Amino acid sequence: MDSLPEEVLQAWKNRAGAVVFTTVAPDGTPNSVYITCVGLYENSRIVIADNYFCKTRENIRNGSSGAVLFITDAGKAYQIKGGIEYHNSGIFFDFMKEWNPKQHPGHAAAVIIPREVYSGAKELK
């Protein structure tokens, strides 16, 4: 997906609070965490700061795909599903360091490469 759908881009600007980031362990066990240090890169990638990952980092290193769930201030939910890249340097890492609060370590940037996007049960293209 070259760019997220326009509806999602507008919703992202009006998201309320933390997002939920879910990964899956090799045995199929899901792991969900609240994330407040998150950004949108060039309307196409969700970048999450790895400040305190543990199980999440392990799942990513084991090849997990993932999902990001967020809600707008109007109460509408969106879910973005896709592959995950993990960057300790480079453009995504540098992007994350620009907005990640200095009091957090910012070990790496987890990048969601969207494959599917939903609002409720409706798939958005």
Domain edges within the chain: 6-116
Given this structure, which CATH class describes domain 6-116? mainly beta
Q: Which two tokens stand for residue 32?
A: 């969900």
Q: Residue 2's pLDDT band (boundaries 50, 70, 90)? A: confident
Asked whether 48 and 85 are in contact (CB, 8 A), the reply is no
- Give the pLDDT confidence of 70-93 residue by residue, as tens digits: 999 999 999 999 999 999 999 999
Which amino acid, residue 63? Answer: G
Per-residue pLDDT tens for 10-61?
999 999 999 999 999 999 999 999 999 999 999 999 999 999 999 999 999 9
Judging by beta carbons within 10 Å of its beta carbon (0-12, 13-18, 19+), is residue 110 exposed, middle or buried?
buried
pTM of the model: 0.96
Where do the H-state alpha helices sit in 1-125?
Answer: 6-13, 55-61, 91-99
